[in-house]
Amino acid sequence: MNESKITYRRRKSGITIRNSILDEYLLVQSEAAKAMNSKTQKDLFIKDNLGMIAKAITQFAFRNGPVEDMHAHPNNQLSENDMKTLNKFMVNRMAYIFQLIIEERWIEFDFLIRNTDRWYGHGWDDAEPDDGGTRKLIELMLKK
């Protein structure tokens, strides 16, 4: 059966990628999704991936935001050296956090989280999860 017939039947039956396959796997709603999620966790959270994880999270949470706008601003508010310093700092800190998670060093992780919140973050706005468009990208990839 070709893709257009599959797409037609899926739409006719009210089955969309968004409410079926995507939700099933990304929200871990089935046994198959739970197995895949568990395997992915085991494959991803190993020491060999520490640098990759730290860089990816830094790119996602730090570079793809206001700091990049500041760097690209015509007045060049942040120089190349500033960006290198900030990137190195962020990647190293992210590597440490994920090292604690990978090695399951929960006492040290708890100390880091609770003390940071106690001394620094308590007056900040509440966190609002933001996928940065990741889910949309996954949807687009699945449609192709």
Instruction: Please identify which residue in the block is written with the tokens 């790119």.
Output: 59
How large is the angle between the packed helices 80-102 and 106-116, nearest 10 degrees? 130
Average pLDDT over residues 32-38: 87
Please indicate, yes or no, whether residues 81 and 37 belong to a single structural domain of this protein: no
pTM for the model: 0.71
* Cα–Cα distance measured from residue 15 to residue 100, given in angstroms and rounded to the nearest whole number: 41
Q: Which helix (H) or strand (E) holds 45?
A: none
- Domain coverage including residue 8: 1-44
Instruction: Give the range among 87-91, 103-107, 115-119 with minimum mean pLDDT.
Output: 115-119
Please indicate, yes or no, whether residues 27 and 71 belong to a single structural domain of this protein: no
Give the residue, 117 or 69, on which the prediction is more confident: 69
The mean pLDDT value of the chain amounts to 83
Please indicate, yes or no, whether residues 90 and 137 belong to a single structural domain of this protein: yes
Based on the structure, what is the number of domains in the chain? 2
Please indicate, yes or no, whether residues 60 and 25 belong to a single structural domain of this protein: no
Tell me 18's DSSP state: I
* Cα–Cα distance measured from residue 133 to residue 140, given in angstroms and rounded to the nearest whole number: 11
Please indicate, yes or no, whether residues 144 and 74 belong to a single structural domain of this protein: yes
Q: Which pLDDT score is estimated for 86?
A: 92
Please indicate, yes or no, whether residues 112 and 60 belong to a single structural domain of this protein: yes
